[in-house]
Structure formats: C-alpha cells, structure tokens
C-alpha cells in the first residue's frame, strides 16, 4: 500500500511539473522561447532519469540536484513575473525525501525553500513574494512530511515482513528441533530398554557363573562323595560315617549357596525402608540364617538417589556373602561413612584370608568379579587387602550423586 501511494505521488508531481512547464512555455512564448524550452526540457529529462542516476552512484544525486536547482533558478530569472516556477521544486522534494535519510531530506527541503524565497523576492518583490514564500514553504514541508510518513509505513511493512519471515523460520526451526527431539527421545527409550536388557543379561550371567562355580561344584563333590560311600559300603564300612558327614557338610554348603543366590534375586528393601534400615535387616538375616555376626557402623547422613542406594546395598550384600561363603568366620564388621558426595564402604573379617594375586585362578572367589562389576557401575574404586590366615579387608570409595542433582 505504501509503495503504491509513493508511486502515485511520484506520478502526480511529475504531471504537476509537466503542467508547470506547459504553462511557462505558453505564458512566455514570445520571450526567449527556445532557451526556456531547452532549460525546461533538460529539467524534464533529468527528472525522469533521476532513479537511474541514483542506482549508478550516490554522487550523481548531488550533481543532479545542483543541476536541477540551477535550471529552476535560471528559469526564474528568465521569467521574473512568474511565481509558479516554484512548483518545479515539488518533484525534487519527493525525490530527496524518498532517497535520503529523513533528517537530510528535510534539510534539503529547507534549502529549496530558501532558494525559492530568494527567487520570489528578486522576481516579485516583498509585497507579492512574502505571502507566496509561506505558501510554497507549507507545500514543500507538507509534501516532505507526507513522503516521510509513506517511507515510515513502507519501512514498517518491510520490518513486519522480515519479522514474519523470521517467525516462520523460527517456527520451522522449532518444528525441526521438536522432530529431532522426538527422534532422540525414541532413541533414548530404545537405549534405556537395551540398557535394562543388558543389565538383566549381566545379572543372569553373574548368577550363572555363581551357580557353576559354587553350587554346581558343591553338588558335583556331593556326587563323588556319594559314589565313594557306595564303594566303601562293601570294602570298608567303617569309613562310611566320615563320608556321610562330608556329604552332609556339602549339602549344607549347597543349601547355603542356593539361599544366598535366591536372596540376591529378591527385590531389595531399599525402596521401602531406605539404605541403612535395609542393611540392618540384611545383617539380622545373615546372623539368623548363617550365624554371622556383623558389626554395622554408619557415620554421616546418606543423600543418595534410590538407584545408587540400591547399588551400594548390593555391593554390601555381595561383600558380606563372600564372608559367609569363604572367610570361615562368624564375625565381620561393615563400616559405611558418608562425607559430602563421597561414600566410603569397608567390610572386614578375621577369617582365613587369601592371596589376591591368585584371584584369576581360584574359582571360589568368583564373587569378587561380580563385586568389581558393581563398583565399576558406580564409577568407584575397589581395594582388596588380604593375606592367608590374616583375614580380609575390602574397601570401596565412590562419588555419589545427590538426590537434588538426580531430580534436576
């Protein structure tokens, strides 16, 4: 709309200039007609050529204005009794207000007004010239203000168009990001499901290793003992009692191993009770079922998310189960210390101990592999200090995530 209005204004001022030229030629056809026609023709040609000059070089605009002012001034001097020559400045006002910054356009319009005033005073005198000066000044500045309003409307339209395109681009980008986010969310769900499946598979593999390296071996020993007792039934009946005692011991051991594995398969009580109450309950269960007395020592306040609390419980459970299976002692000490975001766990016994260097070749200590895996899952560090006949000290240090960070 603003662009159309500006075009109409251009055409109107051009027609007004043409009408003025015709009027001058008719009025003064007897006085220097050819020179006047030449000047007005040059004015008209330059007026039409102005848009093309602007595109070529900004300097041409200033030269163009200077030449047009010179033409209008010459026409005014040739036709001293004509005041309507001042209308020829109207197209120039439209051009400068359209092509220059607003402040510069008004300044040049003021210059046109001053030049018009001088020419009117020279040609018509003060009595006739002064009223016309005010009239033309009002015309120039009203026309300049009109073009300024049109330009502001056009600028506002262009800004609105740019804003609309930016909004469309932002909306498209938002939709693209939303689509990417949905894809990432689906991938995350898939990865989570895969991680859960992997965790289940790792637990199954660990239980399978424990079954093979503990219960299966014990049952195999029971079978060999039973076969030996069967052979001694005819050869040496006196030794059958010892073999049966051994068989009974192996059966108790297998039963203890199975109970331990079944206990690990149960959901932990951490969710319902919390970490420390769950540990106390587990310690009481060990004492009741296996006769292992555990001194539980806790310092500091635990601030752990449920997942890490469950992992820490499983580490403690695994370490105490190793004491039950291998230490051959009825006493142990579990120390749990919370210090800011650091958690220190220690399980110590005065059992038979072992040589840590032989872990890779001793199947009875397969539980330590599972223990290492659990500590690695928490990004912690596991240290084993043990010597044959001097007991075992297991130490774990992890960095825990607070509940607030986990919720955030």
Residues near 387 by beta carbon (within 8 Å), at least 6 away in sequence: 353, 355
Least confident of 11-15, 26-30, 361-365, 371-375: 361-365
DSSP 354: -
Which domains does the chain possess?
2-168 (no CATH), 269-408 (3.30.565.10)
- Rg, the chain, Cα only: 51
SS3 383: strand
Element (H, E) at 345: strand 342-349
The answer to which of 87-91, 183-187, 221-225, 283-287 has the lowest mean pLDDT is 221-225
Q: What pLDDT, on a 0 to 100 scale, did the predictor assign at position 335?
A: 93
Q: Rounded to an integer, what distance in angstroms lies between the CA atom of residue 384 and that of residue 330?
A: 20
In the predicted structure, residue 405 carries a pLDDT above the cut 50 = no
Higher-pLDDT residue of 229 and 293 is 293
Is the model more confident about 312 or about 265?
Answer: 312
> How much is the pTM?
0.44
CA atoms of 408 and 406, how far apart (whole Å) = 5
Confidence of residue 98 (pLDDT cuts 50, 70, 90): confident
What tokens appear for 208 in the block?
């399978």
- pLDDT one-digit tens code per residue, 317-375: 888 888 887 888 888 999 999 888 889 999 999 888 887 776 654 344 556 777 887 88
Give percent of the chain with pLDDT exceeding 90: 9
Other CB atoms closer than 10 Å to residue 216's CB: what's the count? 14
| pLDDT score recorded for residue 285 | 81
The Cα–Cα gap between 248 and 222 comes to 9
Model confidence pLDDT, tens digit, residues 147-190: 888 888 888 888 888 888 998 998 898 889 988 989 988 888 88
Percent of the chain with pLDDT over 70: 79
Q: Is the pLDDT of residue 120 over 80?
A: yes
Q: Of 21, 150, 151, whose CA–CA distance to 87 is shortest?
A: 21
Listed residue (61, 32, 29, 27) closest to 46, CA to CA: 61
């Amino acid at each position: 709309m603003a662009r159309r209005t500006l075009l109409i204004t251009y055409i109107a001022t051009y027609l007004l200039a043409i009408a003025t030229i015709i009027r001058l030629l008719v009025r003064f056809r007897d006085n220097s007609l050819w020179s006047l026609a030449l000047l007005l023709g040059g004015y008209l040609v330059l007026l039409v050529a102005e848009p093309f000059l602007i595109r070529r070089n900004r300097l041409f605009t200033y030269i163009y204005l200077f030449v047009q002012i010179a033409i209008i001034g010459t026409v005014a001097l040739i036709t001293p009794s004509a005041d309507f020559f001042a209308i020829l400045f109207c197209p120039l006002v439209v051009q400068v207000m359209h092509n220059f910054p607003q402040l510069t356009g008004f300044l040049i319009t003021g210059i046109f007004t001053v030049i018009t005033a001088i020419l009117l005073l020279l040609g018509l005198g003060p009595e006739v010239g002064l009223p016309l000066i005010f009239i033309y000044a009002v015309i120039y500045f009203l026309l300049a203000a009109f073009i300024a309003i049109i330009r502001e409307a056009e600028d506002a339209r262009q800004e609105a168009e740019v804003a609309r395109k930016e909004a469309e681009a932002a909306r498209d980008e938002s939709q693209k990001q939303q689509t990417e986010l949905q894809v990432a969310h689906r991938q995350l769900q898939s990865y989570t499901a895969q991680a859960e499946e992997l965790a289940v598979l790792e637990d199954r593999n660990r239980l399978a290793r424990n079954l093979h390296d503990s219960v299966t071996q014990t049952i195999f020993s029971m079978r060999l003992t039973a076969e030996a007792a069967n052979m001694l039934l005819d050869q040496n009946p006196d030794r059958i009692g010892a073999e049966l005692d051994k068989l009974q011991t192996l059966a108790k051991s297998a039963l203890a191993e199975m109970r331990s594995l079944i206990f690990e398969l149960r959901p932990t009580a951490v969710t319902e009770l919390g970490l420390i109450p769950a540990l106390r309950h587990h310690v009481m269960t060990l004492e009741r079922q296996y006769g292992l007395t555990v001194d539980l020592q806790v310092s500091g306040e635990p601030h752990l998310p449920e997942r890490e609390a469950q992992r820490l419980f499983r580490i403690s459970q695994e370490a105490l189960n190793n004491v039950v299976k291998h230490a051959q002692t009825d006493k142990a000490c579990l120390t749990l210390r919370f210090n800011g975001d650091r958690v220190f766990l220690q399980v110590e016994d005065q059992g038979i101990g072992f040589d840590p260097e032989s872990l890779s070749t001793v199947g009875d200590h397969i539980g330590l592999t599972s223990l290492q895996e659990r500590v690695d899952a928490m990004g912690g560090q596991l240290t084993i200090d043990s010597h044959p006949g001097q007991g075992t000290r297991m130490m774990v240090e992890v960095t825990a995530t607070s509940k607030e960070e986990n919720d955030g």
